[in-house]
Structure 1
Amino acid sequence: MLVEGPFSGNRSLTSKTLTADLLVVGGGMAGICAAITAARQGMEVVLVQDRPVLGGNASSEIRLWILGATSSMGNNNRWAREGGVIDEILLENQYRNPEGNALILDTVLLEKVTQETNITLLLNTAVNGCEKEGDNRIAAALAFCSQNSTQYRLEAPLFVDASGDGILGYLSGAAYRIGAESREEFDEAFAPEKAYGELLGHSLYFHSKDSGKPVQFIPPAFANTDLPSLPRFHTFNLHDRGCRLWWVEYGGRMDTIHDTETIKWELWRIIYGIWHHIKNSGEYLDMETHTLEWVGMIPGKRESRRFEGDYMLSQRDVVEQRTHPDRVSYGGWALDLHPADGIYGELPGCTQWHAKGVYGIPFRCLYSRNIENLFLAGRIISASHVAFGSSRVMATCAHNAQAVGMAAALCKERHLLPRDLLEEELMEKLQQRLMGMGQYLPGMPLRDTDNLAKTASVSVSSTFSLQQLPADAGWKALDSSMAQLLPLEKGRIPVFTFVVKAKKASRLVVRLLHSSLPGNFTPDRQLAEKEFPVSKGEQELTVDFGLLLDASAYYFIAFEANPLVKLGISQLRLSGLLTVFNRVNLDVAKGSRQEPPEGLGVDTFDFWLPERRPGGQNLAIACNPQVQVYRPENLFNGTFRPTTQTNAWVTDPKDPEPTLTFSWPEQQKIRKIVLWFDTDFDHPLESTLRGHDERVMPFCVREFRLFDEIGTLLYQEADNHQSRYEIVFGSTVTIKKLVLQLQHPGKNVPAGLFGIGVYES
């Protein structure tokens, strides 16, 4: 029992001082990925989160799905899902939680962080002060935990602000901006003529559930029950309920930091008004038995402060896909800006303009220009208001933050500050280390010179040659233009044969399309066009474009829409092969062709989009001569997803035991093996709400075994679902031969591999 008598002064709170190599402020997806990346490089990390759960906008408190460059398969960014830690998290969530339950995602995130012994996690702890050494360096952050009534002094030589509103950057005096720059500052045609302070607003979401019996709803007194009077009411789609109602947005004309509570109350008024309308207007009879299960308690924020680095990303960086020598990440979401009036305005909920492909994000955007030991992560990175419209989404924020975590580790090892890493040799080391841990940097391969597999003699049990994909999956109607995306080599193009079925005699137009920029998948160049007569019934169609291709790249064999014609499709699914359609994804675009107003500084082009499985089969096709797209040497080119080629080795589907064998003339001492599998980087893996049919991506090899030269089993796995699989032996293994046996992922999916690394340590 504790009894304490009257005290004449003021009592003090319990205080603790924690010292680490790196302090990360903010436990959203950016802070999580920065902390995990740094911790895995041996740094002692304190991760401070002011909420009871991790994940920020992705958490069960807000329930927004994680997206990035894939744009929910709604743009032309093929195989663009972010790599590294964020990919690991999304794949783990997919495996455990294909239904998209936000509470399960919470557990995945908490597990990932707490499994890292180098991370000290402080939940419910808000940074509210800063101590500095001189004008330009942070010495410590001060924080308070409301749950244990403890004040913290958090000391570190390096700091990451991933807090969303940039609380540490603000307190430390880092240069920042709020609002939109003028058109002339960064030569941005999408920007306003004059700088202004209107922002993207906040959103709240809700869930309902079917109770199985009629449920009455009486709205609270504060609900806005006059929704039909809103200017945008006629555009509402209340059949698309709950957390998909991202457009329930408000606050863009207010202070999105200090007025957040006021904004939240107005959003509550709107949400309960929407539910009142659904339940009591008589227009939604199917909702009679539904009850309101959950309404967000805190709003999802989009925009507040943006901090200044040594470079500010701008519209031209995004649209022109500029190449930066210090690129450490990339983006691919649209330039996505929202009207400041939100739900109370007459304008559409957003204006989205896509680039033709992904764009690089330079390291100079990821640290403060005046606080020399402060990294920037999340939505607060150094970008103009217009470019922020693209870089602000969670998977992009997480990918940037992984670069920050690795940069912090390099700074610790070399006793450097963030800006020092711009030196060419150090930047290359940062980029290579990022790629070695799974980070993807477009146009840049991993050069792992210490990979012993590159010094071995390599033999394979089989290699798939693209000679024929059988017509064994039925027919696909040409209700929209459709293309088979194929990687072809420089030189004479093969002759292709397709299977066609027509309702009656017609004519079919076939085009050969290509991207004007290597690595893009926007087919803005037409190389050839042929028109063929087709008769009623089934027939083969032979297409000979008769061209010499000037580059090895992906090409589109595109069939013009014709409602009278169907094309034969194949059950066989292969890494780096897919069909695309000239269609629209209304979640991220207004039509199948992007046609911006003149003078906006954005390109006009067609969208060619894949179908989600179980759709998306390849066309039945025969190639003469056969196309070699899966050579074993692809395993050593340092690129672990399709780009300008498949970059994969794929076995013959009839191979009973797909095997890869490495032989050395001398004994090798190995400690680590890294395998790079195909987890379909074209799939966005939305983290919550949507739900997915698959727990594991169908191309991913789940079962494999490793043997030495005498058949000793070194390692086996029966349930892999990750892109990058690292094996570290307890002690050094001495071998002259390494045998990797794979199991085919499925009856119609042959085993394949993007890369293998064998290392001494």
Structure 2
Amino acid sequence: MSCGRIVMGIWNYIKNSGRFNAACYTLEWVGSLPGKRESRRMDTAYLLSQEDVLRHTDFADGGFYGGWYMDFHPAEGIGSDEDNCTQIPVNVYAVPLRCLYHADFPNLLFAGRNIGTRREAFVSTRVMNTCGLSGQAAAALAWGCLRWGKSPATLAPEEVERIRQTLLREDMFLPGLSNQDPEDLARDAAVTASSRYQPEEGPAAGWFSLEQGGFVACPCPDEPRGRFLVRADAPATLQAVWHCCPLPSRLCPGQPAGEQSWRLTAGENWLDALFPSQAQGQYGMLVFDPAPGVSLALAERRAPGILCGRADAPEYRDSLFLPGKNSFYAPENVVDGCSRVWRQPHLWCSAPEAAPWLELRWDTPRTFDTILLYLDPELSMEIPSSRTDHWEDHHKFAARKGMPPQLMRDVSVQALTENGWRTVACCTGNRRRLLELSAGEAVTATALRLVCEKTWGDERAHLFEVRVYRQHR
């Protein structure tokens, strides 16, 4: 059966069945060529495999990342007797630059659906977002080849690392790689702030039913324990399994790491969560068994990096989970080298206040003209690149409504020069995750202060990373 006959048959049913109110509709456009989901892939210097995706292989030349399901479809298409779609959830994984070139063709790079993967990995890398990231990585690789006059296969390890650091600067996420840019002046600064957010015990702002189970995900604190509040209609036993992972998701919590259970009395119960030793340096996720009549307390304010929900529901909720002693939201996190949630939040979050500020201070004057701010556009949300009103159960995602409240909207930067403090850069109405602020000229100062004048709704400032550069000399 040809693709054209299938399209026209479906259109005939939509228009003439009487079920879709489409009698007066016309078919405006049909592609002249059928798109092949399993498109041709190149035989590159390295072929990403299923094992790399599932085991999250750590590549020395990791250049971008993926994270979509291993999304299999039958080769026969809609005429197949097999299941139309088989999706295996995966966690975030790295893709090496070697998947973008072949040693025998020194002047040719690949990006998009034709990068070098085996089929089992291709069904994850083929999606638009990952294809777009491969294009950014290929552009950075081309830049490196032009800079050093080499083909991709002959680049030295230190040159590959320079390309990866450039990608980091341009806001590519490379799992496990931290900022080592020697030109970033912020790395040598001492950091202070007007305040730091700390989740506090208080009444529940709402309740999340555990009748169908659920989870709480939290990075392992320095003191590996936490407390959370549940409410039980009657005496019961609550059981959960710990999982550990650098960055879990609702469908892929990580490796099992033991069980924990609690005896509940009727009413509210504060419970202790004891992180397993395997969780040190990464996330711990408590996955609760179904518990009829038991609900988990929700917090009034979001604690960045701490979430709860269910595997079969796209929405994440904010649990009233109180981690032990930790540095989750400390000011110095903005220069720890990581600008995304990975094992830890790596975030400065201020207390609720008017115009919170963060300050960088140097022992000796520094000259700069550019400030890069890596902000928080609610990275915990799983957001598709397109969305319709109807979703199949296996394609459920939360819809974003409006601007993310924790994104900084109005920002000013002040510098402490020999003539005192003065404003050197500002921005209003920001909608970007990576905000580049230019001073317009070289500024020599011993301190730099970022002031969050306004966000898109949150009373707190959220900031992952600050970088400071002298770009024009």
* Contact 2:103-2:152 at 8 Å conserved across structures: no
Following TM superposition, by how much is the alpha carbon of 1:566 offset from its aligned partner in structure 2, in angstroms? 2.5
Q: 2:449, 2:208 → 1: CA distance?
A: 41
SS in 1 for 2:164: helix
Question: Following superposition of structure 1 onto structure 2, how do residues 347-496 of structure 1 map, counting pairs within 5 Å?
Answer: 347-355=82-90, 357-421=91-155, 423-468=156-201, 470-472=203-205, 474-494=206-226, 496=227
Q: 1:665, 1:531 → 2: CA distance?
A: 52
- Matched residue, 2:424: 714
- Matched residue, 1:329: 64
Q: 1:530, 1:303 → 2: CA distance?
A: 46
* Normalised TM-score (structure 1): 0.56
- Matched residue, 1:274: 10
Question: Following superposition of structure 1 onto structure 2, how do residues 266-305 of structure 1 map, counting pairs within 5 Å?
Answer: 266-282=2-18, 284=19, 287=21, 291-292=25-26, 294-298=28-32, 299-305=34-40
- Matched residue, 2:344: 645
SS in 1 for 2:455: coil
- Matched residue, 2:394: none
* Contact 1:469-1:622 at 8 Å conserved across structures: no
Following TM superposition, by how much is the alpha carbon of 1:716 offset from its aligned partner in structure 2, in angstroms? 1.6
Per-residue CA deviation, residues 281-310 of structure 1 (Å, 9 max, x unaligned), is 35x2x5366734644334443233221112
Q: 2:279, 2:385 → 1: CA distance?
A: 41
* Contact 2:224-2:275 at 8 Å conserved across structures: yes
The 1:685/1:567 distance shift into structure 2, 3 A limit, reads closer
* Normalised TM-score (structure 2): 0.88
1:619 aligns with 2:353: no
Following TM superposition, by how much is the alpha carbon of 1:744 offset from its aligned partner in structure 2, in angstroms? 5.4
Per-residue CA deviation, residues 164-187 of structure 1 (Å, 9 max, x unaligned), is xxxxxxxxxxxxxxxxxxxxxxxx
Which amino acid in the other structure matches residue 264 of structure 2? Answer: P
* Contact 1:451-1:759 at 8 Å conserved across structures: yes
Q: 1:328, 1:581 → 2: CA distance?
A: 32
1:568 aligns with 2:301: no
* Contact 1:490-1:549 at 8 Å conserved across structures: no
Which amino acid in the other structure matches residue 5 of structure 2? Answer: R
SS in 2 for 1:307: coil
Following TM superposition, by how much is the alpha carbon of 1:684 offset from its aligned partner in structure 2, in angstroms? 4.2
Q: 1:741, 1:280 → 2: CA distance?
A: 60
- Matched residue, 1:64: none
Unmatched tracts of structure 2, length 5 or more: 390-398
The 1:413/1:571 distance shift into structure 2, 3 A limit, reads same
1:686 aligns with 2:396: no
* Contact 1:368-1:376 at 8 Å conserved across structures: no
The 1:347/1:635 distance shift into structure 2, 3 A limit, reads same
The 1:469/1:302 distance shift into structure 2, 3 A limit, reads farther
Q: 2:37, 2:118 → 1: CA distance?
A: 14
Following TM superposition, by how much is the alpha carbon of 1:488 offset from its aligned partner in structure 2, in angstroms? 2.1
Q: 2:83, 2:260 → 1: CA distance?
A: 38
Unmatched tracts of structure 1, length 5 or more: 1-249, 251-265, 584-608
Q: 1:385, 1:621 → 2: CA distance?
A: 41
Question: Following superposition of structure 1 onto structure 2, how do residues 231-310 of structure 1 map, counting pairs within 5 Å?
Answer: 266-282=2-18, 284=19, 287=21, 291-292=25-26, 294-298=28-32, 299-310=34-45
SS in 2 for 1:686: coil
Following TM superposition, by how much is the alpha carbon of 1:500 offset from its aligned partner in structure 2, in angstroms? 1.3
Q: 2:202, 2:461 → 1: CA distance?
A: 16
Which amino acid in the other structure matches residue 408 of structure 1? Answer: A
Following TM superposition, by how much is the alpha carbon of 1:435 offset from its aligned partner in structure 2, in angstroms? 0.7
Following TM superposition, by how much is the alpha carbon of 1:350 offset from its aligned partner in structure 2, in angstroms? 2.5
Per-residue CA deviation, residues 42-98 of structure 1 (Å, 9 max, x unaligned), is xxxxxxxxxxxxxxxxxxxxxxxxxxxxxxxxxxxxxxxxxxxxxxxxxxxxxxxxx
SS in 2 for 1:656: coil
Following TM superposition, by how much is the alpha carbon of 1:732 offset from its aligned partner in structure 2, in angstroms? 0.9
1:533 aligns with 2:264: yes
Higher RCO (C-alpha 8 Å, min separation 6) = 1
Identity over aligned pairs, percent: 28
Q: 1:665, 1:752 → 2: CA distance?
A: 26
1:500 aligns with 2:212: no
How many aligned positions are there?
Answer: 455
- Matched residue, 1:315: 50
SS in 2 for 1:268: helix
- Matched residue, 1:727: 437
Following TM superposition, by how much is the alpha carbon of 1:706 offset from its aligned partner in structure 2, in angstroms? 1.0
The 1:369/1:452 distance shift into structure 2, 3 A limit, reads closer
Q: 1:501, 1:324 → 2: CA distance?
A: 47
Q: Between Structure 1 and Structure 2, whose CA radius of gyration is higher?
A: 1
Q: 1:689, 1:293 → 2: CA distance?
A: 21
1:760 aligns with 2:467: no
Cα RMSD after superposing both structures: 2.6
Q: 2:39, 2:216 → 1: CA distance?
A: 43
Q: 1:300, 1:499 → 2: CA distance?
A: 51
* Contact 1:660-1:740 at 8 Å conserved across structures: yes
